[in-house]
Each structure stands twice: as structure tokens, then as C-alpha cells.
Structure 1
């Protein structure tokens, strides 16, 4: 997409957002969003923090949660509660910090919930039998119950986080349209994934095809040695991250930040969750998302969950919007954070309008 076309698309999106909002309040909110642009680049990675709380999953695993509360503008009376909450669900081998640009961009503008998935980040370790996409869906349900006990909510997932939302839709379809009023699916799929793509930034050596699954199982038994190799071979790992996480050239700080998250995830955890991707087959479950505003977002140069997966999701979810970020890779939430945040703003506006029509 040319720069001119990109500018036109963004301008059209902004105009549509104002049309959806349709009120002085909507215009004021949009102005605050615009004012926050660039906040992520001005904020050091990993520095956005709020006092943590713990949500205990149904099998006893503690999940680390951080909440950014809504802050009413000084010229507006503080409402007893924000009209909407957003729950962000991160992907495989990452942690809640991957939402850096979304957290910085929406800080204070809306109530936002971030959490580390089980065995990731600062959350507790899962046993191998509960390291499944279905369990992650159940975990999300618990997070919603504990952190958004009432009021409408939008759920946004990246990569495995999107799969988590799809699992929740399969398990609890009644939540969509009542409690959940909007969905964002970013760089994700509901099935048909080539698992070898997912592992490429994290394996210490070249593995492929059927041998990949055998190799992962073998490496899992010696996971401590693998972790040492990953630390020693950081230069090789950095090259892999650059190649498979991003599409265009990005600042070195972006690359280092993602690399640190990947390196901090023990290979034992990587190996435990890995079999899920080959078995994933939940496209029939996504149709329920057509009951609420849904945005599907992907980079056209995503080497891990190729854009075709997002196109298929879009085709299966009635009324959904599809944003293809030209030239962006799997970490589109960082690489094209302005485009992603603009699309999420449209999602929030549509979800808010839906709540207002109740």
C-alpha cells in the first residue's frame, strides 16, 4: 500500500470513527486518542506497570494481572465506573508487555486489563496436561469474572491470544453479545496452522516437517541445556527474531524487546504448548463472533500466521472488519502500532455504540 493510500485509509477510518461516535463526547474522546499517539515510543519498553493482582485459574495456577484504570478528563466529572473494559490476551512465548504500544496509547482513556497467560511472564507454571488452548480459554473466562465482574467488555488477542478468544467462544458462546461486546483478533487463526512456522524464532537449530515434532519432544527433555544454548547463541536468535517476527526494518529496540520476551520463556514451556497448534481446529466456533463488532488484523508479511488465516477468519465472521497492514510481520502490534491502535479505536467506538443501543 502506498503512503498516499495509507494516509487516505487512516483519514477515512478517523472520519468513520467520528461518525460512529457522533457526539461531542465522541469527538472529545477521539481528540484524546490522537493526543496520545507516539506515547509508546516515548516510554521505555517494560516500564509500564500498575500494582499487580492475582487471578487463580480453575486448576489453581496463579495468573498475574495488571489493570490500567480509566481516568476521566479534568473538565469532566468522574463517573463511578467506565462504560467499557478491554482485556488484552498475549501470544505464544510472550507476556503482557508485548502490548506496550496499546497500553501506552490507551492509558487512562479506557479501562484496560492485561495478564500473563499460564506459564508465561510472571504467572505460575502449568502442568503439562493443562498447557492447552482450551485451558487458556477457561483461564480467560476466569480473568473476565474476576477483573470485569460487571459491565461490557472487549477482548483483544494476538497470536495464541486470539486462539484463546476462539476457545472461549467455543466454550461460552452465550458471553458474546451480552458481556462481550467486541472482539479483536490479531495475527491469529482458528486452525489449519503449520506448526513449524510458529517455532521458527525459538528453535536453537534447523528443524522441519515431521522431524520438528520429534525434535521438540526430544529437546524438551533437555530443556535446561536448550535454554543455555539459546542464551549463548543470542546473535543467532536475534537474527531469527528479526526475520520471523517483523516484516520491515524496525528499530533495534523493538527487536531486542521481543527477543528478551522469547528468551525469558523456558523452552520446556515452548515445548508443552507446541502440540496445540497442529491440533487446532475451531473455525466452526468463530461464527458466534458475528454477533458483535469484530476486527481482524494481520500483516501481509506475517511468516508465522500468514495473512490467509486472517482472511479466512474474516470470511467466517459476519460483519467483521479486516485490516491488512502492508509489509508488516507477526508482531504487527509493535511494527504498525499506529494502524493497529486506529483500528482498535474503531472497534471500541462500534462496541460503545452497540452498548448504547441496548
Structure 2
């Protein structure tokens, strides 16, 4: 029998937790209504809609089907000399995270290949033992073999996708040396340090690294209950997604779009990948990108892969260009799409020019630039002023 005082304490804790959850829900609802009313201009209807030109299933070397999409340039913009751009998404996301970049690259006349990493998006859920960064590198190689078998390449990876690119380069260096003219590492890490800090520091990070997989695996057995909780507490979920994904105002539609990707990933899959991410170390693989035009991008307020992770990559790749975006979090390509689109287009142009003119990239000085998305700031300020005037006149 439970002692009375322990039962009262438990009841008190339960009521307190319920009160905190209710208060959080009310606060989150208020924030979300503000986004819906004022910031929808940042993600208008149809902004994230896209239909690929081709879809295919690429079979990984262990038999897992991988979902792949291809965008072809318009006939009047097609140029055989232009590279194919292969984009790899991050942990708990999907190829949908690149929707605004794929549109911009296709409009500029490039062929774009995107894929869902194993157990993510529309790719098949794989055995937990195969959910490693090494296997993802082999998966990317298979995608290239099937969807971009010849011609120059540009490799772009976000977060875990950047690790995938490093892993592929480590295992298949000839592909990088012979075909890759440019690479972009976005909000990612070469490893060699604890990856799971979540902004709480290394001590808590090490604790999360040990306990996170077991915790996720345990609650992953109750996925239906988790899905029900999501529907009930959607406002709170949005607040959490916003905090860890972005560092500037975004539209409510962007929060939901991101949250649906993250929480659409089964908790068991999250648990499967965490151990490999936490011990990831591909610093030596970056040697394969020496002499290749390389862009490293991160958000200044990124809680998952802070700027020091990007700085470590830059130190290991001579001639790499480092761009730090102010007021930006981890999902930077949805938060500041115009900035990222511009950086990618400039990177590809630099890579084509370096390849054609045999420029010695290693002799370039390292460049570190801090970029402020002034266009977005103006749009947010204008939206808020317009909403305020509308509220006063109502």
C-alpha cells in the first residue's frame, strides 16, 4: 500500500504537471494565433507544394528500398555541362525539407536528385542494426549510381545528411575526386565531440547520449499513444519544434510542416540512429574535399549543431567558405530560404568555374561571412505593423 504522504506528493506532482501543461498549452496557443494572423506572408498557400518529374525506388546494398525524386530543368534551360545536385536531408526530416531549394535550383536550370534516408520519409523502415552513418554513406552511393550515374556532381547535406556525405566520401573517395565539383555542409558536424547537447552543454549532452536511445525505444513501443498525445497537445508540440528548429519568426504553416516531418518519424527510428550520430567522427573524410569548392553554412543560434561544429569543418578543408546566418536555428533552409538558395546557387557557379578554369581551391583564403536576412526582417516588420493597424481599426 502506498504511504499517504507519498500518495499526496504524487498527486501534487501530477496536478502541478497538469497545470504546467495547461499553462504551456494556453501560451503556445496564443503564440500560434499570432503567427497565423501576422506571419502567414512568410509561407503563403502552396509554398511547400511540389511535384517531382520522376520518382523511383533505389535498392540499397542490403535490400532496403530508398525513395528518390528527380527534378529536371526546363528544356530551354537544360545544359549537359551543368552538374546534377544531390541533396541529403537531416535526422528525423525527409526530402521535403529541401522543397524551397529544389524549386530554386530547378528554375536555375539544374537537375536535382533528392532522397529519403532509410527509415525516414517514404523510404522503407530498416533493421535497427543498419541505422548507422556508415550505411547511410553506402545508401547515398547507391542513389548516385542509379539516379546520377555520370557527369559532374554537387553534394549538399543538412545535419545528418552532411554526415552521410562525409561517410560516402570516406568509403567511396573516387566518386568525390573524379566527379564532385562542389559540396555544401549545412548545420552539420564532422564529429569528434558529443553531438547531443541540445544547447544544455557537454555534461547534459553525454547524459542524453546514454539515456536518449533507451528512452525513445521504450516510449516507441507506445507509438499510438504518442500519436494521440500529439493531436491533443499540438500547440505545445509546435512551441517545442519552434524552439529547437528556428531562431527568428516563422509562419505557423512552417512550424506544422516541420513538426509533421519530425514527429512523423517513428520514435523507434529516432532511437535507432542516435547511437551512431553520437559517436560520429568523419574528420579524416574531409580530406577528400581538399581542392573542391566547399561551402559550410550554419545558423548562429543553432542549438543542435552550434557554430563551433561548422568551424571545425572549415579548419579541415582548405579554401572552404563559411557562412554564418544571424537569427537562424537548425532548420535554416526553411527559416531563411532566400539566403540559402542564394548561397547554393553561388556555390554551384563557383564550382563550375573552378572546374573549367582549373582553379587551385586550396590556395584560396578561408572566408567567413556573417549574413543577416534583411529582406525577411522587413517582411516580418511590415506584417506586424499591418496586423496591428488592422487590430486597432476592428
Provide TM-score, normalisation by structure 2: 0.73
How do 1:144-223 residues align onto structure 2 when only pairs under 5 Å count? 144-192=144-192, 194-197=194-197, 208=208, 210-223=210-223
Number of residue-to-residue matches in the alignment: 311
- Please give the per-residue CA displacement for 1:290-344, whole angstroms capped at 9, x wherever unaligned: 2210000000000111111001111111110000001100011111111111111
1:60 aligns with one of 55, 63, 85 = 63
CA pair 107-165 structure 1, distance change in 2 beyond 3 A: same
Q: Distance in 2 between matches of 1:102 and 1:41?
A: 16
Higher helix share: 2
What displacement does 1:282 show? Answer: 1.3
How do 1:201-350 residues align onto structure 2 when only pairs under 5 Å count? 208=208, 210-350=210-350
Residue in 1 aligned with 2:125?
125
The answer on whether the counterparts of 2:48 and 2:100 sit within 8 Å (CA) in structure 1 is no
- Please give the per-residue CA displacement for 1:180-201, whole angstroms capped at 9, x wherever unaligned: 111100000011454444699x
Residue in 1 aligned with 2:48?
45
Residue in 1 aligned with 2:136?
136
Q: Distance in 1 between matches of 2:293 and 2:145?
A: 21
Comparing 179-188 with 64-73, greater Cα deviation is found at 64-73
Q: Distance in 1 between matches of 2:208 and 2:138?
A: 32
The answer on whether the counterparts of 1:220 and 1:268 sit within 8 Å (CA) in structure 2 is yes
- Please give the per-residue CA displacement for 1:12-38, whole angstroms capped at 9, x wherever unaligned: xxxxxxxxxxxxxxxxxxxxxxxxxx9
Provide TM-score, normalisation by structure 1: 0.80
State the SS of the aligned residue for 1:125.
coil
Q: Distance in 2 between matches of 1:226 and 1:304?
A: 23
The answer on whether the counterparts of 1:40 and 1:101 sit within 8 Å (CA) in structure 2 is no
CA pair 344-155 structure 1, distance change in 2 beyond 3 A: same
What displacement does 1:281 show? Answer: 1.3
Q: Distance in 2 between matches of 1:223 and 1:281?
A: 31
2:104 corresponds to 1:99: no
What displacement does 1:161 show? Answer: 0.4
Extract unaligned runs of 5+ from structure 2: 1-40, 201-206, 359-394
Comparing 279-288 with 57-66, greater Cα deviation is found at 279-288
The answer on whether the counterparts of 1:192 and 1:278 sit within 8 Å (CA) in structure 2 is no
What displacement does 1:79 show? Answer: 5.8
Extract unaligned runs of 5+ from structure 1: 1-37, 201-206
Q: Choose 1 or 2 for highest CA Rg.
A: 2
The answer on whether the counterparts of 1:231 and 1:263 sit within 8 Å (CA) in structure 2 is no
- RMSD in angstroms over aligned alpha carbons? 2.4
Residue in 2 aligned with 1:81?
80
What displacement does 1:217 show? Answer: 3.6
CA pair 199-172 structure 1, distance change in 2 beyond 3 A: farther
